[in-house]
A and B are shown apart, each in its own frame.
Chain A
Amino acid sequence: MDTIEYLTGQFHEFPQDSIDRGLDILRQDAFNAFNTMGIPGMKHEEWKYTRINKLFNTDYSLSADPADHSVSTSDLGPYRLPGNKDANELFFINGRFAFDLSVIQSAGLQVLPISTAYNGEHRDVIAENLSHSSRYLKDGINALNTAFLQHGVFIQVGRGLILEHPVYIYNITDARTANIFSQPRSLVNINEGAQVQMVETFITFGMNESFTNQVMEVVVQQDAVVEYYKIQNDASHTNQVSTTHFRQTAKSYVHTVTISLNGGIVRNNLNMVMDAEHCESHLYGLYFQQGKSHIDNHTIVDNAMPNCLSNEFYKGILDGNSSGVFNGKIFVQRDAQKTNAYQSNKNVLLSEEASVNTKPQLEIFADDVKCSHGCTVGRLDEEGLFYLRSRGISEKIARSLLLHGFVVDILDKIRLAVIRNYADQLISERLEFDIS
């Protein structure tokens, strides 16, 4: 069956459940938008280099029953991130939040089904922020997630709380028996003055095809501090569009590092909406791809209000037949005077077949701002290689040392030591290089 036809059928099957129908209207509007816009193809400016429409030619099963997963704690064992004993662990299985598997250690951390939260005390914050990302992502793929958001979750960190335990979020696709299309959805509310470290990763079980279309929206309230790390190292037969949308309110601080090491087609949308004065955000990224992998990092920084600082630095290594895209949009709105916005993207191509398209896109409507951008695409430094080899270091090890040196400054932006070391280990293994 045609996937889109199938999804339409599924959409109409889901019960409608919110009391004032607010969520239902949101879903219906999103579904209409999906029908109008469709799956973005090459003609869509933001999807020119990343073709996901062919993924919809696969027959997927979008499972209808929230309790319907057959993943046990022991299945998860080998995939849990280091440091998990000290972490809150939240599991999404095939796009559904698995309350049975998730472990919450911090008293200030709360996870509720989105409809429960909406029909309860969190209506205002949800009404204000749910689907905020659709204002920035005008395409059917974002709308498609929203159309199915009734099984999403509302995650919140209580006011003034400094979470001692980081929050690990696992997006698991169980493709052991069927092709799986999954759509994890969450709205995270980091309350005033709270501090949290979040780590997100993507794991697929089984060899069937999988396509994950994830949307996470995060509201960072006044004076809150968020560190957010995304580790993508899933198998090469898996594909994903992963949207992480931050909306910052006054004097909040967001620090993100996105590490993308493997996957089939991986598209990241990282949005940073600086919706109040004196916000600060840092967006770091590192992609290291090989084989036929495709990595696309689309970022949007929207400076809507004055006196904000954003700093963006992405680095990439592309080997084999892999391809990369970096698209960095920065808006500085008319009122956003005294904005500081910086952006840089550096790439190393290791083979003739590897390629990267990098595009800074600055749209500045205020006149008293400091903005800079730069991008480079090059090969491994031959002079450096000769220098190391002249000291007796074999070419292979010399290349590894140079490449490791190229990425280490981004790794060092991961402030959670176990995760920094884990990412370093993954990269060093690929470089066949001993980090000790």
Chain B
Amino acid sequence: MLKIQNLQAGIEGRTILKGINLEIKAGEVHAIMGPNGSGKSTLASVIAGKTDYEVTEGRIEFMGKDLLDMLPEKRAGEGLFLGFQYPVEIPGLSTTNFIKTAVNELRKYRGEEPLDAVAFLRLMKEKMALMDIQQPLLSRSLNEGFSGGEKKRNEIFQMAMLQPKLAILDETDSGLDIDAIRIVANGVNKLRSKDNAVLLITHYQRLLDFIIPDFVHVLYNGRIVKSGTKELALELELKGYDFIKNDLNIAETV
């Protein structure tokens, strides 16, 4: 589904990603962990098409197409979704209107008719129940004045409404209490299928208790330095990132 080869990217002349290789297949859940400043959010932003970043090397293929050539909205049209670490507040645009516009723009991209009001409402009610979201929140301006937990739940709610093939969730767990994490994780798990995939970006192992990944990768200093299964996350939790750094130092001195 997603194939990243030797991806190098940076911002304002500073290289952040120094050769990322990663392949995600349909039905898989991957987790990328790593210390602050290792390039996790940069990777998410580059995949979603944020123009602040400059890609200097490598390629990203999504569903067999060259992703780096596409505008952000086209990437979404192809089935990519980014759950933002810091969802943006948009004054004067209700969450409902926003989601309705997005749903119908994606349908248009796929050559489908727009959803009528009844069908849209039915879909919304179903996903609202899944994410424990109430109507008043959706009538408010998008993310404006939302609590941290509301913002993150709203991200997963959008994901549920837009039904992407690949969802990249950038630190969706940060700032959440345990109940909120449970709701978010439950939402993600319900949406998992053999046809879609999830890439979780997280600092902590905690989220991975609720969403069990198939693969865990450690990003350090712009490179994936270690990959493994969910046990790797547990090991990181126990030993901290230092053991990775130490391993690397040993490797470099040998």
Task: Enumerate chain A interface residues (CB-CB to B < 8 A).
Answer: 381, 383-384, 386-395, 397-398, 401-402, 404-409
Contacts and interface: CB of A to CB of B under 8 A. Distances in A.
Given A387-B88, A397-B101, 11 more contacts: A381-B88, A386-B72, A387-B90, A389-B49, A389-B73, A390-B76, A392-B162, A393-B101, A401-B90, A404-B93, A405-B92
A392 B102 contact: yes
A390 B72 contact: yes
B77 interface: yes
Q: Which of B49, B72, B77, B162 has the most CB of A within 10 A?
A: B72
Contacts of B98: 388, 391, 401
Contacts of B51: 386
Contacts of A406: 91-92
Interface in B81-131: 81-82, 84, 87-93, 97-98, 101-102, 105-106, 109
B73 A395 contact: yes
A384 B77 contact: no
A189 B7 CA distance: 73
A407 B92 contact: yes
A388 B89 CA distance: 11
B141 interface: yes
Top 5 nearest A-B pairs (CB, nearest first) are A405-B92, A392-B76, A408-B92, A391-B102, A387-B88
Contact of A391 (B50, B71, B162): B162
A389 B84 CA distance: 13
B48 interface: yes
A94 B14 CA distance: 64
B90 A405 contact: yes
Contacts of B196: none
A383 B97 CA distance: 19
B202 interface: no
24 contacts: A386-B51, A386-B72, A387-B84, A388-B90, A388-B98, A390-B49, A390-B76, A390-B82, A391-B81, A391-B102, A391-B105, A391-B158, A391-B162, A392-B77, A392-B162, A393-B102, A394-B73, A394-B105, A395-B71, A398-B73, A401-B93, A404-B93, A405-B90, A409-B91
A405 B91 CA distance: 6
Contact of B72 (A389, A397, A405): A389
B121 to A, nearest CB: 15
Contact of A405 (B71, B109, B141): B141
Contacts of B73: 389-395, 398
A395 B98 CA distance: 14
B76 A389 contact: yes
B98 to A, nearest CB: 7
Contacts of A409: 91-92
Contacts of B97: 401
Nearest to B73: A389
Contact of B71 (A384, A389, A407, A408): A389
Contacts of A389: 49, 71-73, 76
Contact residues of A: prevailing secondary structure: helix
B21 to A, nearest CB: 24
A401 B71 CA distance: 18
B105 A392 contact: yes
B90 to A, nearest CB: 5
Which bucket holds chain B's interface residue count?
20 to 34
Contacts of A398: 73
Nearest to B141: A405
A405 B97 CA distance: 11
A22 to B, nearest CB: 50
Contacts of B91: 405-406, 409
A7 B101 CA distance: 56
B59 to A, nearest CB: 20
A48 B215 CA distance: 66
A33 B72 CA distance: 62
Contacts of A384: 88-90
Contacts of A405: 90-93, 141
Contacts of B101: 393, 397, 401
A392 B98 CA distance: 11
Contacts of B81: 390-391
Contacts of B105: 391-394, 397
Contacts of B141: 405
Contact of B93 (A392, A394, A402): A402
A224 B197 CA distance: 64
A25 to B, nearest CB: 51
Contacts of B109: 392
Given A392-B77, A393-B102, A394-B105, A387 B158 contact: no
Given A404-B93, A405-B90, A407-B92, A390 B162 contact: no
Contacts of B49: 389-390
Interface string B40-78: 000000001111000000000000000000011101110
Contacts of B92: 404-409
Interface centre among A381, A390, A402, A408 (most CB of B within 10 A): A390
A408 B105 CA distance: 22
A398 B97 CA distance: 12
A167 to B, nearest CB: 30
Interface in B138-168: 141, 158, 162
A402 B93 CA distance: 7
A257 to B, nearest CB: 16
A276 B82 CA distance: 57
Contacts of A392: 73, 76-77, 102, 105-106, 109, 162
Contacts of A401: 90, 93, 97-98, 101
A77 B75 CA distance: 49
Nearest to B72: A389
A119 B75 CA distance: 75
A434 B101 CA distance: 10
Nearest to A410: B92
Contacts of B71: 389, 395
A190 B183 CA distance: 58
A407 B71 CA distance: 27
A407 B93 CA distance: 10
A384 B72 CA distance: 13
Contacts of A386: 50-51, 72, 88
A407 to B, nearest CB: 7
